[in-house]
Chain A
Amino acid sequence: GAVVSQHPSWVICKSGTSVKIECRSLDFQATTMFWYRQFPKQSLMLMATSNEGSKATYEQGVEKDKFLINHASLTLSTLTVTSAHPEDSSFYICSAQTSGSADTQYFGPGTRLTVL
């Protein structure tokens, strides 16, 4: 149980286009979802926290107009990278949390974005 999927696994796009990444909890309801970006040396940076039905809370330094997060249902959150540029190329990982498990996050497999 507690499976989180991401779609797509890998995406290559041209500079200036927008890319949408989906994060789904397959067998549980995710009241909270987190979006991370992986930086060199394997560190993960928390970008934003989203609660179902409300606006996402962005971490300092993350542009909310560039990284649009929508958590429209208890099983789906989307991250849209708008007007993507090569420096946005990275590995984006989501995780999901249920209301009854304060410490446990279930991570997705990640989406690799390459912007040409």
Chain B
Amino acid sequence: EDKVVQSPLSLVVHEGDTVTLNCSYEVTNFRSLLWYKQEKKAPTFLFMLTSSGIEKKSGRLSSILDKKELFSILNITATQTGDSAVYLCAVIGFGNQFYFGTGTSLTVIP
């Protein structure tokens, strides 16, 4: 059964902390892995990863994929209250089907 599992389910940190969000997957015919940030409306696209070991970076956010161990991490450094959101991981598999994790809810307190 194809699945994507994110951990932790929920996280509360103080401003300035660094957090690491995990996404592991078992998906047939893996094509790519995507990270989204979801606040009130639609998820906002963050990264798409297709190759192992190549870090993608955008400001304080970075992500990397390990296709051998079948996981990805999303790092956020120097967290701010505006980073509070649900972070979703999705894997595109066979037939371009999406497999979403249930997300990690991040709360950053001042």
Interface contact A46-B41, CB-CB below 8 Å: yes
- Quick one: CB contact mask for B97-110 with A, threshold 8 Å, 1 for yes? 11110110100000
> Given that A42-B45, A42-B48, A44-B43 are known contacts, is A9 also in contact with B97, CB under 8 Å in the complex?
yes
Interface contact B90-A112, CB-CB below 8 Å: no
CA distance A80 to B59 in the complex (A): 40
Instruction: Please name the residue on chain B nearest to A109 by beta carbon.
Output: B97
Interface contact B102-A109, CB-CB below 8 Å: no
* Residue in A44, A45, A46 whose Cβ sees the most chain B Cβ within 10 Å: A44
Say whether B86 faces chain A, with CB atoms less than 8 Å apart. yes
Interface size on A, residues (CB 8 A): 23
Is chain B's interface secondary structure helix, strand, loop, or mixed overall?
Answer: strand
Say whether A58 faces chain B, with CB atoms less than 8 Å apart. no
Q: Name the interface residues of B1-54: CB closer than 8 Å to any CB of A.
A: 34, 36, 38, 41-45, 48
CA distance A105 to B86 in the complex (A): 10
CA distance A41 to B48 in the complex (A): 9
Interface contact A46-B42, CB-CB below 8 Å: yes
Interface contact B42-A36, CB-CB below 8 Å: yes
Say whether A67 faces chain B, with CB atoms less than 8 Å apart. no
Say whether B95 faces chain A, with CB atoms less than 8 Å apart. yes
CA distance A7 to B46 in the complex (A): 28
> Given that A42-B48, A103-B86, A106-B102 are known contacts, is A9 also in contact with B95, CB under 8 Å in the complex?
yes
Say whether B96 faces chain A, with CB atoms less than 8 Å apart. yes
Binding site for A on B (CB under 8 A): 34, 36, 38, 41-45, 48, 86, 88, 90, 95-100, 102-103, 105
Binding site for B on A (CB under 8 A): 2, 9-10, 36, 41-46, 59, 91, 93, 95, 103-110, 112
